[in-house]
Amino acid sequence: MHPDHEARFLRDINKNIGIVHRVCHTYFANNTLEREDVFQEIMYQLWRSFTQFKGDSKFSTWMYRVALNTAIAHVRRSIRTPRTTELTEAADQAVDMNERISEQEDVERLYAAIQTLTEVDKAIIFLHLEDHSYDEIASITGLTKTNVSVRLVRIKRALKDQLEKTS
């Protein structure tokens, strides 16, 4: 890679690194080791595919697309590969949930409800919560704007139902 391209890559990645952290937390909130592995995998995929980024969209849109696709692919591989699970830091923290303030409990309940969604629906609600427009969500996910709108209504209803069951 040309040194100018490398410098641009590093600048743009550092400017938008929160995207990767949020995607990893959305898909792997309860597994610190897997979250770290996926973070590294996303960074590798971003580096590997950077030469293919032509600037047809915003860098952050491209970055979301790569990060979400990598996370979803990892989830799908994990589902096909049986594994034993260990008690993680997140599980240890869940034991102490009574000590958390109610606002934090609400956030945790929302993340737990989001974990019940399909991979694509997780991506849609994640981008919506990040204040992306329907057009941006459609561009990142490859769905139509209408499909994004319809799915968001269904996702919000499903999350509301899930949260009402756990309260």
In the chain, the domains with their CATH numbers are 1-95 (1.10.1740.10), 99-167 (1.10.10.10)
DSSP assignment string, the chain? --HHHHHHHHHHHHHTHHHHHHHHHHH-TT-HHHHHHHHHHHHHHHHHHGGG--SSS-HHHHHHHHHHHHHHHHHHHHHHS-------HHHHHHHTGGGS-HHHHHHHHHHHHHHTS-HHHHHHHHHHHTT--HHHHHHHHT--HHHHHHHHHHHHHHHHHHHHHH-
pLDDT at 70 over 50: yes
86-119: pLDDT as tens digits: 444 444 444 444 444 555 667 778 888 888 899 9
127 vs 166: which has the higher pLDDT = 127
Does the model's pTM come out above 0.75?
Answer: no
